[in-house]
Chains A and B, each alone.
Chain A
Amino acid sequence: GAVVSQHPSRVICKSGTSVKIECRSLDFQATTMFWYRQFPKQSLMLMATSNEGSKATYEQGVEKDKFLINHASLTLSTLTVTSAHPEDSSFYICSASGQTNNEQFFGPGTRLTVL
């Protein structure tokens, strides 16, 4: 299957700082990338969908000014958590799908801890 990477895999930061998470499709062109968040013992919740070169579509309840998404190329999307607070601590997972089918390939996730 296709490979999606995320960086960093784990980040610990102080409250009020901003954190950028990168999601890369390594061996295919991802026309669409998805950002999910998963709290302990909860399901993955879709935060936003981004198509290369256009603005991300955010799910209800997700603040677009707090979670900045950039999908500047067909292989890279970034999620920036601005002014992070402890309640933003979570497991953030991206996925990517290409042009040939709608299957989503997941990155390994980024565990964010805000102190």
Chain B
Amino acid sequence: RKEVEQDPGPFNVPEGATVAFNCTYSNSASQSFFWYRQDCRKEPKLLMSVYSSGNEDGRFTAQLNRASQYISLLIRDSKLSDSATYLCVVNSGYALNFGKGTSLLVTP
């Protein structure tokens, strides 16, 4: 079983839609959690950290359920510029474990 699993998508949504991505992780001892964004042929960039209490950054809301080992990312009012691959990332010690990513395409 992979350490971090995500639905690869693609998710095709119209501008203004709300879209949610899910992620599960296998290591219950994992300590920190992140969502990264990766544009085609580019390096991943940190979108937001994920905290146990849930956290919001503008149109983006992240949730963590430690009991279920489940992480989510909600994007509201999606923009064309949100089109990218969203990577669920879990830190289980010294290293970051990346999911394969979920591809999002926002269309006009």
Chain A interfacial positions (CB closer than 8 Å to B): 1, 32, 34, 36, 41-46, 49, 91, 93, 95, 102-104, 106-109, 111
Contacts and interface: CB of A to CB of B under 8 A. Distances in A.
Contact of A102 (B4, B46, B91, B97): B91
A111 B101 contact: no
B43 interface: yes
Interface of B: 4, 8, 32, 41-46, 87, 91, 94-101
A91 B95 CA distance: 19
B45 A44 contact: no
B94 A93 contact: no
Nearest to B4: A43
Given A108-B43, A109-B42, A42 B100 contact: yes
B42 A41 contact: no
Nearest to B101: A43
A50 to B, nearest CB: 12
Contacts of A111: 41
A13 B72 CA distance: 41
B45 A106 contact: yes
B44 A106 contact: yes
A49 B95 contact: yes
Contact of B46 (A41, A45, A49, A103): A103
A82 to B, nearest CB: 24
A106 B89 CA distance: 14
